[in-house]
A and B are shown apart, each in its own frame.
Chain A
């Protein structure tokens, strides 16, 4: 069930300061592992899309892998928890597990923002 690989049309958005990533921003490759259409999976997919659309203005790729149909793929990325988001690119590989409900954590872990950027941004916003 590969229902991803979308390139968002939206261009830079105001509100939160966007800062181009130092690493080649075109190469965001995110892989989201889910298992069936569970509420958690759906929430995670929605959250991920929202975050990417909001913060990744350049090209990125989201792969959603449903382990129910492709169980053999679980071992290669060392998947245990569902849902798991794997940042394949840029290197190094990073993983986030959970339904991605905390946007800040996702942004920091994926390296879209550093923790200090995020603090500044929220301070400005406030």
Chain B
């Protein structure tokens, strides 16, 4: 019966995969577990092996129409049912509707004696019967290694296990076999020797008293798979694996701009704001207005009707709403409309990976277009620097892939050099807005500048960042000899400058008047001189006339004298005189 299915699957050549339905797992294995083959899920106690298996069965029965058989060697059926009921799986209903069989195999060594040769045919028969009774396609054996505790003849056991796994393969069921992690080997009794098509290792690690669960596909014959360790989460919806590290740099880019909600900041960002789907880092020391800036972005986006998600690690939702009200940002209506959602948690509640998984989940559910993480620094403190960087990288990649604009606020300490501390994450962000406080003449004022913004001509200026009761304003900062002037120093300088300017104006006016006066004086002088000149010319002309008249008179006199002397006038002399006189 099921044997035939198994054969046909194997002969078809390409490995068929059986979707587990476990969030993220099918992505990292590119489809799920190998269909018709047994897979080994191993890990230490309490890392979620059984849950993985049960979810595989329950989802198969519920979502993929593949009934399943659970053969449990450890927990009773009622315990299992209870355990997964909390995760939203109603096993009792599945059992009642003949989609699931749970068979509890009890093995008590003190009640069993062994004499002579035996095999585990009984187990095979039970399993076979269970599979055939509901036409099961999926099988969970949890934890078959319990047999090693119940039976003493290891050589028989090993031979029988080998036979069991071969039999499962022939039967064509997709099986999950769980195994406890042993010293130096994947499972305590070396099950990986027999089940070697697909081996999944679950791990739970404690770092700084915060535990993180991780999953790794150790081996997957005949298929590519993600090889990294993926953090996973067990919550009220079951198992979810975070496939983030499988992302590459393949995300689309958008030309669309997103306003920051502050017109002058948009102006600084090439006039239009951020690119959609980019990551924005707002870093600054304590109290520089990072969260306020973040809220302004959220407020602007919500008022455009976009969905926003804020991960708050320092303040509760109510606190944020109240505080933002004080600077004229009213977030409440957006929350009521369902456009804005706050997810508040203390950073120490989970490990880094867990935070990431949680964020991943919420983002997938809420589908926001803007995500704000406030502040990033506190979750990064939950892990080592490398890890933190990785987390950030994954987060950024994940958000970019979904074209979600991300805003991270980042607290930096006063004594660090601001650009330096964030070297690790700076390469990951597209736009980096730095908020600084400037202490000057007994005041602390805020300043903002854009350290970088990829793909746009951004302003290189430092602006003063002012939180008013009507929102955030950016003002031009004054550059004086002592550096950037802000606050009252700026006001003082402004006053000083306007006074100076007035004085200058007045001076100019005065000089103008003076000049006019001088001009007028000179004009007057010129006219006097001209009059003099005219007078001189007149005199000169008069003198000439008088001279000529005198010459004439002289000539006349000579003529007269010649007449009276009766002498012929000396014509030559006369003419000479006349010409000389005329000159």
Contacts and interface: CB of A to CB of B under 8 A. Distances in A.
Interface of A: 33, 35, 38, 40, 43-44, 47, 67-68, 71-72, 74-75, 78-84, 92-102, 105-106, 109
8 contacts: A43-B116, A67-B122, A93-B111, A95-B111, A98-B116, A99-B118, A100-B115, A101-B117
A43 B118 CA distance: 11
A40 B115 contact: no
B107 interface: yes
Nearest to A110: B113
Contact of A97 (B112, B125, B128, B129): B112
B113 A97 contact: yes
Contacts of A96: 112-115
Interface in B480-530: none
A84 B122 contact: yes
A68, A80, A83, A95 interface centre (most CB from chain B within 10 Å): A80
Contacts of B115: 96-102, 105-106, 109
B107 A78 contact: yes
Interface residues of B, number: 24
B457 interface: no
Nearest to A109: B113
Nearest to A92: B111
Interface string B199-243: 000000000000000000000000000000000000000000000
B112, B116, B150 interface centre (most CB from chain A within 10 Å): B116
Interface in B111-150: 111-123, 125-126, 128-129, 147, 150
Contacts of B128: 71
Contacts of A109: 113, 115
Contacts of A98: 114-118
Nearest to A40: B117
B233 to A, nearest CB: 35
A35 B127 CA distance: 14
Contacts of B113: 94-97, 105-106, 109
A95 B112 CA distance: 5
A68, A98, A105, A106 interface centre (most CB from chain B within 10 Å): A98
B6 to A, nearest CB: 19
Contact of B125 (A44, A68, A93, A95): A68
Contact of B151 (A74, A81, A92, A100): A81
Interface of B: 103, 105-107, 111-123, 125-126, 128-129, 147, 150-151
A35 B121 contact: yes
B107 A80 contact: yes
Contacts of B105: 78, 80
A81 B157 CA distance: 10
A74 B116 contact: no
B261 to A, nearest CB: 66
B495 to A, nearest CB: 94
B127 to A, nearest CB: 9
A55 B477 CA distance: 108
A63 to B, nearest CB: 15
A100 B116 CA distance: 6
A106 B117 CA distance: 13
B119 A71 contact: no
Given A78-B105, A98-B116, A101-B116, A33 B129 contact: no
Contacts of B122: 33, 35, 67, 74, 79-82, 84
Contacts of B111: 92-95
A82 B160 CA distance: 11
Contact of A82 (B107, B119, B150): B119
Contacts of A79: 122, 125-126
Nearest to B126: A74
Given A40-B119, A71-B126, A106-B115, 4 more contacts: A71-B128, A75-B129, A80-B147, A83-B118
Contacts of B117: 40, 43, 98-99, 101
Nearest to A84: B122
A67 B119 CA distance: 13
B116 A78 contact: no
Contacts of B118: 40, 81-84, 97-99
Contacts of B129: 71-72, 74-75
B116 to A, nearest CB: 4
Given A67-B125, A109-B113, A81 B120 contact: yes
A97 B107 CA distance: 12
Nearest to A99: B116
Contacts of B126: 71, 74-75, 79-80
